[in-house]
Amino acid sequence: MLPAMSDNRIESDQTTARYDLIQRIEVFVQKLEKSRREPTSWECEHALRALRALEESDFARGEQVIMWAEWPAMRHPSPVVVAKLQPQYIRTNTAGLRARLEQVVQKIV
């Protein structure tokens, strides 16, 4: 039988997971800013999905979808496959991702 987890431990784990996801999204946006380029539709869609997961405190899903955003372009599906995907968000630019990240962080922290 597993030992019972205290509420403090659960809260600490949630705080760590939240911080880790914020940092991972932050690094992704910083790389875009440093390279002075805009995200591809693939990167943008997955970064926005990660921000939504962060907002909903679904940190595991957020980690998964930001990982997909981080994939190098050569690993993205072909444009034909991407065209068949149902985007959930309107494409934005790097500044839009930065603004959305700051908005979400301000809301949840």
Of 14-23, 34-43, 74-83, give the lowest mean pLDDT range. 74-83
Q: What is the pTM of this model?
A: 0.81
Q: What is the pLDDT of residues 25-58, one digit of tens each?
A: 999 999 999 999 999 888 999 999 999 999 999 9
How far is the C-alpha of 21 from the C-alpha of 54, rounded, in Å?
Answer: 7
How far is the C-alpha of 22 from the C-alpha of 86, rounded, in Å?
Answer: 25
Element (H, E) at 55: helix 41-55
The residue-averaged pLDDT of 97-109 equals 95
As separate numbers, helices (DSSP H) first and strands (DSSP E) second, the chain gives 5, 0
